[in-house]
Each structure stands twice: as structure tokens, then as C-alpha cells.
Amino acid sequence: MLTGAGISAESGIPTFRDAQTGHWARFRPEDLASPPAYQRDPEMVWEWYAGRYRDVLAAQPNEGHRLLAELEAHKGAGFFLATQNVDGLHARAGSGTHGGTLVELHGNLLSARDEKTGEIFPLPAPEGLQTPPVSPNGNRMRPNIVWFGEYLPEAALNAAHQAFAGAEVALIIGTSGVVYPAAGLALEAMAEGATVIEINPDETELTPLLTFSLREKAGQGLRLLLE
Ligand code: NAD
């Protein structure tokens, strides 16, 4: 399984396109979510991430997240979910705790990384969050997010390639499929003879390349498919 921002839309988290409105819309993502932006103005970058952190904690997992966690409980070790989302809602719905695997390819808004040691620590509750946060080692921490111009975590990416290449069935849910590695994973599964199903209310660049598409929102589409 591969999910993108669309699966969290029903939890009220804006997709990439929807995020083009509001206060931060006048900043291009690469002006906030990149190593040069952070070097230039860590305070501003952290202010943006602290706001997104508060927003995702205020949101709740929706039916789509829950159905994927239930499917994992049913399939066990054979279940693999890679998400491009950083909102942590799959983990909060229980994915990765029922014998299967959850990998967060782009990191996570709920934690931060010690800039010296690379260790990852959960962020304190938003009320107690001071930015930039300091790790238990006393070092400044950066957001635990894969930024523009950075590599995806190698182990997570390798695990995803292996899972998709060996899959019988793969679902591609709520992703526009343009950001690497979404398209690559879907096409690897196709090339190895898998049935690859897209769930998305809109046509995407992947649509013509996959086995079939359900033109539904994530929750409804998954429910129909699993029934
Ligand atoms: P995207 O915004 O490019 O595409 C979202 C896709 O979801 C679109 O194809 C849209 O048609 C579809 N969609 C909208 N509502 C839906 C629904 N209810 N059910 C199913 N599909 C729906 O997002 P992306 O493909 O994930 O790529 C953008 C990048 O931005 C990713 O790298 C991701 O890390 C990041 N991002 C993450 C979040 C999050 O964590 N929730 C939110 C915005 C962006």
C-alpha cells in the first residue's frame, strides 16, 4: 500500500494543493522545507512546523486510516504500508502494530532530530514546545522531515521497493503520483505482474498506467474494495 496526502483530507489535513491558501501560501514549500531555508531562518521554519504539529494533533484518523489498520490486523506480516504523509495519522490509527509494517518515507511532524547525533525524539506537547526545540543531549533539534533536496531514509525506501516488487496486490491511495518515489513503486509492482489499484477522486498521471482506478475518496473507496 502507498498513501499520500489525499488519505488525510477527510481528517481535515490540507493536501499539497489545498495548502496553497492561507497565511503560509505566500511561501513556496522549498522556501520553508529545505536545508538552506532552515540555515537562513530556523525560527521561521520551526514556527511553520509547530503550526502543522498542532494541526495534526488536533485532527483524528479517519475511516481510511482505520480500514488500513484493520486490513493489517487481518493480513499480518504480509501487509506493508508506505506513506508519504508526515501527519502521523496511520500510526495513531494503529498501523504498524498488528504484525505488518508501516514506513513513513518523508518523516514525521510529531518528532524532531538532534542536529549533532541524529537521534530522534518525540516533541513535547504543543503547549510546552519551545522552538527550536532542544534534545535531551542539549543540542538543537531540526524537524524530522525529509526536505526538498534531501534523500529519503535508505532502509525505509529499500523496504518499500522490495515490498512493491514482491506484491500480488498494491493500492495507491490519495497521491498525485508525481513526487518520487510514488510513481516508481506503483510501476515496479505493475512490472512484476501485480494488480495495482488506485483510489483517488481525481484522475492522476498514474491512472492510465495502473490496473484500475476507483474514483472515490479514500474511506469510501477502501470500504467498497474490502467489501
Ligand atoms: P498531493 O497533494 O500532491 O496529492 C493529493 C492527492 O489526493 C490528489 O491526487 C487528490 O486528487 C487526492 N485526494 C484529494 N482528496 C482525497 C480523498 N478524500 N481521498 C483520496 N484521495 C484524495 O499529495 P501527495 O501525492 O501526497 O504528494 C505531495 C507531498 O506533500 C508528499 O511528499 C507529502 O509528503 C506532502 N504532504 C503531506 C501531507 C500530510 O502529511 N497529510 C499533506 C500535504 C502534503
48 occurs within a structural domain: yes
Residue 113's H or E segment, with its range, is: strand 107-114
pLDDT computed for residue 29 by the predictor = 77
Minimum CA distance residue for ligand 1 atom 23: 5
Å from CA of 71 to ligand 1 middle: 21
Range of the domain at 212: 2-129+146-226
The DSSP letter of residue 99 is S
pLDDT computed for residue 27 by the predictor = 74
pLDDT computed for residue 23 by the predictor = 58
Å from CA of 135 to ligand 1 middle: 31
138 occurs within a structural domain: no
pLDDT in tens, 9-56: 999 998 876 666 655 676 777 788 999 999 999 999 999 999 999 999
Greater confidence (209 vs 18) lies with 209
Å from CA of 30 to ligand 1 middle: 17
> What CATH number should be reported for the domain holding residue 45?
3.40.50.1220
Average confidence score pLDDT of the chain: 94
Which of the residues 65, 74, 106, 161 is marked catalytic? 106
pLDDT computed for residue 79 by the predictor = 98
Q: Given a cut of 70, is residue 182 above it in pLDDT?
A: yes
Residue 204 CA: nearest ligand 1 atom is: 9
Do 7 and 218 touch, CB atoms closer than 8 A? yes
pLDDT computed for residue 16 by the predictor = 75
DSSP string, 40-90: H-HHHHHHHHHHHHHHHHHS---HHHHHHHHHHHHHGGG-EEEE---S-HH
Å from CA of 85 to ligand 1 middle: 8
For residue 23, indicate whether it is catalytic. no
Do 196 and 202 touch, CB atoms closer than 8 A? no
pLDDT computed for residue 156 by the predictor = 93
Minimum CA distance residue for ligand 1 atom 41: 5
Q: How confident is the model at residue 4 (pLDDT cuts 50, 70, 90)?
A: very high
pLDDT computed for residue 61 by the predictor = 98
Residue 84 CA: nearest ligand 1 atom is: 34
pLDDT in tens, 122-144: 999 999 999 999 999 999 999 99
137 occurs within a structural domain: no
Q: Please state the rounded mean pLDDT for residues 196-201.
A: 98
116 occurs within a structural domain: yes
Residue 189's H or E segment, with its range, is: helix 182-191
140 occurs within a structural domain: no
Q: Given a cut of 80, is residue 112 above it in pLDDT?
A: yes
**% of the chain residues with pLDDT over 70:** 96
135 occurs within a structural domain: no
pLDDT computed for residue 24 by the predictor = 63
Residues near ligand 1 with C-beta < 6 Å?
A: 4-10, 13, 15-17, 19, 84-87, 106, 174-176, 179, 200-202, 204, 217-218
181 occurs within a structural domain: yes
pLDDT in tens, 65-93: 999 999 999 999 999 999 999 999 999 99
What total number of domains does the chain contain? Answer: 1
Q: Please state the rounded mean pLDDT for residues 159-185.
A: 94
173 occurs within a structural domain: yes
Round to whole Å and give the CA distance between 109 and 81. 18
